[in-house]
Amino acid sequence: MDLVTNETNGVAVISPAGDIDSSTAPTLQQRLDELLGKDVHNFVLDLSRVGFIDSTGLAAVVRLYKRVRIGEGDVRLAAVPPQVQEVLDLTRLSRVFEIFPTAVAAAASFGPQA
């Protein structure tokens, strides 16, 4: 899995490419842990290049959400493809996460104080 990360104004935008499943979720989890270790609290997951996400991938995203919410941060999803949106809807995680059409819009939603 290719994983691009950009940090701007206290917001980390993570853009994975490929499937997020049991073989690739540990790579994503490791990167998220690194960012949390650098005291990043606001995250945008740009899912525009993700073709599939399984329960292991969802667990990594939920784990991140739980960890940052404790520290007054948040996780926003962006550019969710239809096949991933279907999984989010089935698991009702689409009710938990704010979903934006683009990563730029999601990052901007944190406001200037982020």
Q: Specify the pLDDT at position 91.
A: 97
pLDDT digits (tens, 9 = 90+) for 96-110: 999 999 999 999 999
Quickly count: other Cβ atoms within 10 Å of residue 54's Cβ.
Answer: 15
SS3 per-residue string spanning 8-32: ECCEEEEEEEEEECCCCHHHHHHHH
CATH assignment of the domain containing 95: 3.30.750.24
Q: Specify the pLDDT at position 111.
A: 85
Question: Does a structural domain hold residue 62?
Answer: yes
114 pLDDT higher than 50: no
Q: How confident is the model at residue 58 (pLDDT cuts 50, 70, 90)?
A: very high
Average pLDDT, the chain: 94
pLDDT digits (tens, 9 = 90+) for 74-83: 999 999 999 9
Number of structural domains, the chain? 1
Question: Does a structural domain hold residue 114?
Answer: no
